[in-house]
Structure 1
Amino acid sequence: MLTFRSIRRYNLALVALLCIGLVSQAGYAQHAVQADTLYTMTDQGPIVNGVVLIEEGTIAEVGPATEVSVPSDATVHEATVATPGLIDPRGTVGLSGIHNVPADQDQLDTSEPMQPALRAIDAYNPREQLVSFVRQLGITTVHTGHAPGALISGQTATFSTAGETVASSVMDSLTTVAMTLGPDAQARFESPDTRGKGVAMLRQQLLDARAAMDTEEPTTDLGTRVLQKVLRGEVPALVTAHRAHDIQAALRLQEEFGFDMILDGASEAYLVADEIEEADVPVILHPTMTRPSGTTQNAAFTTAGRLHEAGIPVAIQSGWEPYVPKTRIVLYEAAIAMANGLPRRAALESITSAPAEILGLDRIGTIASGQAADLVLFDGDPFEYTTHVCTVIDDGNVVSTECK
């Protein structure tokens, strides 16, 4: 005899079987993005009336609407323009907070001038309001950590802006070791007091780490261990240097020790572009609209364009300013660079595929089959002032739907 309870059990079982059938045929919840213009940041180029199919957090198919069929059970998201998720290639988001008070400022320890043992992953707060703020504006990935301002300020890391725990956010727990040359590394410490002393102290630290590699017993010193990773080419040094002669000092250290280097800040890079290009060193450039004072006094809107023209890989960062350590939005910084000589495609590359390549982040930065499904959907031209970010998809999950 059928009862209400037995009928209900039967219906639930039927629903479960149907769900299992759908999962087996099409994976978990599917999404499709349909955009009037789809910027893939690959050799495929922009696609007019483009479609992206997403399955289980991964891009399954990309192409024109005439070639890609959208499954009937997929959730469809429409946009005027879609791009890869934006990447902030250098900042302190998650270590520095939105309120700019001592309680949410963990980006720079000033007890010693060299602290390579400090790890961004131990200080990152995925629930910090600043993280959700940048996520709503299309930034799905942040390369963040210890700020410029010490000879060695610590280790940086890369995080998704979507996770609510460190474990669910971290993409790379040790991306670079952050160093600073020039006056910015002198102001907070008794020593170094000059450029020459700063370079000498850093050189001695690297020599000591290299000497310890020749001993039979592995070192237990955390700072020495991470510097040995730099010397072995396992982790790049991220060297902040703004003035031309500080950039040249960084290039000399890189040549002397043979480590991989990413030049950071680089306000006067246009004065030594030939040397940077010859050394095959990429640049994570200061925010285009950085305040021109101190070591950034000679920063120019045109620098990104000039570096691109010289054949130097360049990404544009949000940066860090000690008296307002909140964040800039890299989309706006790239837009100003585009208005001052950086080609449109290169401007979009500077906050998507270029930082992914510079930082060694293989699965993000482009829209292609097999890549992580990080996308930003706009209601107009991304570089137009009146355009809004309307949908943000991170690893296949819709994390923001409010037009900002």
Structure 2
Amino acid sequence: MKNRITLFLFAILFGFGTLANAQIAVQADTLYTMEGDKIVNGVVLINNDKIEAVGSASEVDIPSAYETHQASVVTPGLVDAHSVVGLAGIYNRDDDQNQLETSSPIQPQLRAFDAYNAREELVKFVLNKGVTTTHTGHGPGALASGQTMIAKTPYNTVDEALVESATTVAFTLGPSVERNFSSPGTDAKGIAMLRQKFIDAQDYLEKRNADDPEKRPSKNLEMEALADVLEGELKALITAQRSTDIMNALRLQEEFGFDLILDGAAEAYQLIDEIKKADVPVIIHPTMVRTYGATQNASFTTASKLAEADIPFAFQSGFEGYVPKTRIILYEAAIATAYGLDRERALYALTKAPSEILGIDNRVGSLAEGKDADLVLFDGDPLEYTTHISSVIVDGKVVKEKE
């Protein structure tokens, strides 16, 4: 009997096992579904790991058997559009920093899936800040640092956490590459190296798709990853902060035709027309990024300018060299609202927008029938510093409650 009680308590704390068949009702004074206008006095019904119903209290009846949670404000679980959590550890030790391999500047074959530590304390840190889904993996600093993945944050193994094992190949343009590697030593050399690799990948892809099996090449993991980018199986996530780097990214996309996500884009406000014409989304640098080096011209108003131009964008926690190695995306979004971004648009850029950019909006990012039951419950305005997260629900399980 004692062991059963222990297992039950473990399930309550960590969201596994016993709670798999949970039936939960969430009542909110203000409910942001991200599927339309906010709902005053809203209700979300959860059955097992999916959302069963969403609407106003006058439209959705709560069955008597459902466990009820109440909050001032409820949003979808936050989706961190770009992070290195799970590869970068919270303590900044050599043994827990796996986000950047510096043996070669071009290694698209490296898989985040092979390095992700679901038990890393930094993953639990962002979960407690409302991040239920994270797009994470090899970070900026190499021409091609590796592949990214998407994971849910409350789980203890990569297999349990996994939403998508390979989402993008992460590329970087600019001075951070030149600091980490002896070659390339200049921007032009870096672009030339990438162009040659993509040309090689075009040849490899043509042979890979040959009708005659004997003409197909021996498998080359580097070429496989780049060929998948060219074929649209993976997106190209290009970190480019300066306007010159952003333009180089747009030219590479135009030349090789891959699906591009601009990352960082500190000087995006200088190239609004060019980015809009290219029809590419932006995962914006953390609003409060330290302004030196490639980000020296970052602006607090970039988010509002992208929104005004109707360019899709999302917030990210990014990567920091100091502990705890990651930023809090709620705070980054809040600062953007202080500099002109609409508050509901900021919440959208923390939830639905990143899920759309990453191609997982069929599961997460908004509250709608049939979607994953990922919710964050607040005791006030989510973008106010004094507000607390009272509960976090992931896949229909309460994984955090207010202490």
**2:378 partner letter:** F
Which residue is equivalent to 2:27? 34
Partner SS, residue 319 of structure 1? coil
| In 2, Cα distance between equivalents of 1:238 and 1:317 | 13
Partner SS, residue 32 of structure 1? strand
- 2:76 touches 2:365 (CA, 8 Å); kept in 1? yes
| In 2, Cα distance between equivalents of 1:65 and 1:194 | 60
| In 2, Cα distance between equivalents of 1:288 and 1:162 | 26
**Deviation per CA, 1:327-362, whole angstroms, max 9, x where unpaired?**
101111001111111111110011100000000012
| In 2, Cα distance between equivalents of 1:30 and 1:214 | 51
Normalised by the length of structure 2, the TM-score is 0.92
| In 2, Cα distance between equivalents of 1:118 and 1:152 | 9
Unpaired stretches in structure 1, ≥5 consecutive residues: 1-26
**1:371 partner letter:** K
Identical positions, percent: 59
Cα shift at 1:218: 3.6
**Deviation per CA, 1:109-166, whole angstroms, max 9, x where unpaired?**
0000000010001000000011111111111011000110000000000000011111
Q: 1:109 aligns with which of 101, 110, 122?
A: 101
TM superposition outliers: structure 1 runs of 4+ over 6 Å:
none
Normalised by the length of structure 1, the TM-score is 0.92
- 1:94 touches 1:125 (CA, 8 Å); kept in 2? yes
- 1:212 touches 1:219 (CA, 8 Å); kept in 2? no
- 2:320 touches 2:327 (CA, 8 Å); kept in 1? no
**2:264 partner letter:** G
**1:76 partner letter:** T
- 2:90 touches 2:323 (CA, 8 Å); kept in 1? no
Partner SS, residue 42 of structure 2? strand
**Deviation per CA, 1:205-226, whole angstroms, max 9, x where unpaired?**
0100111122221441111001
Unpaired stretches in structure 2, ≥5 consecutive residues: 1-19, 208-214
Partner SS, residue 314 of structure 2? strand
**1:380 partner letter:** G
Cα shift at 1:325: 6.6
**Deviation per CA, 1:218-249, whole angstroms, max 9, x where unpaired?**
44111100110100111110000000011000
Which residue is equivalent to 1:10? none
Partner SS, residue 197 of structure 2? helix
**Deviation per CA, 1:343-383, whole angstroms, max 9, x where unpaired?**
11110011100000000012100011111000000000101
Which residue is equivalent to 2:51? 59
- 1:50 touches 1:63 (CA, 8 Å); kept in 2? yes
Find out whether 1:370 has 2:362 as its counterpart: no
Which residue is equivalent to 2:294? 295
Which residue is equivalent to 1:211? 203
Q: 1:74 aligns with which of 45, 57, 66?
A: 66
| In 1, Cα distance between equivalents of 2:206 and 2:148 | 27
Which residue is equivalent to 1:339? 338
Which residue is equivalent to 2:379? 379
Partner SS, residue 376 of structure 2? strand
- 1:219 touches 1:225 (CA, 8 Å); kept in 2? no
Partner SS, residue 156 of structure 1? strand
Which residue is equivalent to 2:8? none
Cα shift at 1:384: 1.0
- 1:135 touches 1:161 (CA, 8 Å); kept in 2? yes
Partner SS, residue 88 of structure 1? strand
Cα shift at 1:323: 4.8
**1:253 partner letter:** L
Over the residues paired in the alignment, what is the CA RMSD in angstroms?
1.1
